[in-house]
Amino acid sequence: DTRAVNTPDKEINIQWYLPSLAKPSNDTETKVLLLYAYNTQPVKISNIKIFSSMSVFSGHLWIPLASIISLRDKLSNLKQQVEMLMQSSKSLSSASEPISFLEQSETLKIIPSKNQKMNVAKVHLDRKTEEMAKRCLSEVKALLSVVPAPSLPLSEIPFDVTLQSIASLEDMFDPAGGCTITEESLFNWIISLFH
């Protein structure tokens, strides 16, 4: 009963559940239950019986399984495209020809973050990949919005695009598993959809 739990400054945990018997009534399509919990400040729980925090939230959404599978495929394609852009950028930066002589449409820039790992570097997307990302993120927004309302497609990407952020979104929509998201800009965007 005295298990210790610690979480970083901001973290969201996602789990999927497909109940065998308990399904929302009057639905003909298969839906799965998205369970989420997040904290907006550090949390340390040393005794679960006396825990009380104003910075911990949880909830659930019923989402059509077919929509999740379709979106995950699109996010997987987006992740592959981002990986190719990063590889192209790496090749361009190591080429003997200065980047300034390349056509603008061929240049891809990577702005490294504090951590020099490639997967957390911010990626500047080409037009095709940016449009692909906007379509995927518009679908994410439509699926996660607590109050379904017709919304316009996103006009800009609402968080820093890194290989890690796209991989986290892909993992988030894996109905066989779940994920933990800690990237601040992605975290902030996702929790904004739950309100």
Q: What is the pLDDT of residues 137-171, one digit of tens each?
A: 999 999 998 766 666 778 899 998 999 999 999 99
Read off the DSSP letter of residue 126: P
Residues 6 or more apart whose Cβ sits within 8 Å of residue 194:
36, 57, 59, 144, 146
Domain that holds residue 18: 5-193
Task: Quote the number of domains for the chain.
Answer: 1
Q: Cβ(75)–Cβ(173) under 8 Å?
A: yes
The alpha carbon of 14 is separated from its chain's Cα centroid by a whole number of angstroms, namely 10
pLDDT value, residue 21: 59
Taking 50 as the threshold, does the pLDDT of residue 45 lie above it?
yes
Q: Cβ(120)–Cβ(113) under 8 Å?
A: yes
Reported for 144-150, long-range contacts at CB under 8 A and 24+ positions apart, including other chains, are 144/34, 144/61, 144/190, 144/193, 144/194, 145/193, 146/59, 146/61, 146/193, 146/194, 146/195
| pLDDT digit string, tens, across residues 95-123 | 544 444 444 444 444 444 433 444 667 88
Question: What integer is the mean pLDDT of 33-61?
Answer: 83
